[in-house]
Copies of this chain bind each other. A is one copy, B any other.
């Protein structure tokens, strides 16, 4: 099969450094600037409290794209536990940016839409990140009854003990 070619429909813009974004547990406030030619695609989006942002993690290197096993580094940082205490799991079982196609699926708070600018919160994306798609967060996206593997529930337990909420 031929490689798939996609183009950004917009970009993430905010004032925070990559390090601030990386270490934030709740994400940062910012703007998604949609390219002028796609502005009609935003009609009817204002009023959704949350949107799903599909983004291309452009900082991930070719080497990062070849990684298949990781210790979930972001989790370790947020939990404040040494990386070596985390299990090594597959990238498809984590939100690691290292993965064959470094595509992020982020649920962000949508404050308002003004022209081609989306004012958002809870952004876990660096400023300058290309955005590939935007989708409304509708009730059907929500899964009420979840189960999780034991390696993950053990991490959730640590987070709860440390008062960090859901990770």
Query: Hey, which bits of chain A sit against chain B, CB under 8 A?
Result: 1, 3-9, 34, 38, 40-52, 54, 56, 68-69, 87-95, 99-101, 103, 105, 107, 130, 132-143, 145-152, 156, 166-167
- Please tell me which one of the listed residues B40, B91, B94, B100 contacts residue A68 in the complex, with CB atoms under 8 A apart: B40
- Please tell me which one of the listed residues B9, B94, B101, B146 contacts residue A49 in the complex, with CB atoms under 8 A apart: B146
- The binding surface of chain A is classed by DSSP as mixed
**Contact between A54 and B143 (Cβ–Cβ < 8 Å)?**
no
- Please tell me which one of the listed residues B44, B54, B56, B152 contacts residue A136 in the complex, with CB atoms under 8 A apart: B152
Chain B residues positioned under 8 Å from A141 (CB to CB): 107, 143
Alpha-carbon gap, A146 to B144, bound state (A): 14
Please give 5 more A-B residue pairs, beta carbons under 8 A apart, in addition to A1-B130, A44-B149: A44-B93, A44-B152, A48-B93, A49-B143, A103-B133
**Contact between B147 and A101 (Cβ–Cβ < 8 Å)?**
no
**Contact between A148 and B138 (Cβ–Cβ < 8 Å)?**
yes
